Structure 1
Amino acid sequence: MPKYIMWSTYCDNVVEKRAPYRQAHLDGLAQQKAAGVLITIGPTKDLTQCFGIYEADAEAIVRQLIESDPYWQNGIWTEYDVKEWIQAI
């Protein structure tokens, strides 16, 4: 099954702005992980970007998951990019 990487950027003052949406965001990620679609995800230490690895039948599935996330819908993630990834090792 294809793997995809996702890079997103966070809004300014992310720690304060994400608070109302954080639990719903984490719950959704946990469901994706349990379903085997999400491999891993997390922010950069400086909280400016987020990196994720997904495994899905199509890029459109990954984009749908990202765009239905509370962080995307509420402007916590300000932009994102998805690329199909070839895992070498």
Structure 2
Amino acid sequence: MTKYIMWGTYCEDVLEKRAPYRQAHLDGLAKQKESGVLITIGPTKDLTKVFGIYEADNEDTVRQLVENDPYWQNGIWTEYSIKEWIQAF
């Protein structure tokens, strides 16, 4: 399968705004991790960006996962891009 990276941006005041959606967000990520499609994901230390690595059949699968996430649906993630990634090591 192909690996993809996702870079996204968080909204202003992310810590306060994410609270109502956090558990659903984490539960969804846990299911993705368990299924093997999500390799890793997390915020930058300054909480302005999110970075994820996925392994999927195609980019559309990754886009669906991102866009079905409560953080995307509720404006916690404000934009994102996905690129196919070649893991050299």
**TM norm structure 1:** 1.00
Report the counterpart of residue 88 of structure 2 in structure 1.
Answer: 88
Cα displacement (A) at 1:43: 0.2
How many aligned residue pairs are there?
Answer: 89
Q: Which whole-Å CA distance do the structure 2 matches of 1:65 and 1:42 have between them? A: 15
Q: Secondary structure at the match of 2:15?
A: helix
Q: Secondary structure at the match of 1:12?
A: coil
Q: Percent identity among equivalent residues?
A: 80
Q: Which whole-Å CA distance do the structure 2 matches of 1:13 and 1:22 have between them? A: 14
Alignment-mate amino acid for residue 26 of structure 2: L
Q: Which whole-Å CA distance do the structure 2 matches of 1:26 and 1:49 have between them? A: 17
CA RMSD of superposed structures (Å) = 0.2
Q: Which whole-Å CA distance do the structure 1 matches of 2:49 and 2:24 have between them? A: 19
Shift >3 Å, 4+ stretches: none
In structure 1, list runs of 5 or more residues that go unmatched.
none
**TM norm structure 2:** 1.00
Q: Deviations over 1:18-58 (max 9, x none)?
A: 00000000000000000000000000000000000000000
Q: Which whole-Å CA distance do the structure 2 matches of 1:8 and 1:46 have between them? A: 13
Q: Which whole-Å CA distance do the structure 1 matches of 2:72 and 2:88 have between them? A: 30
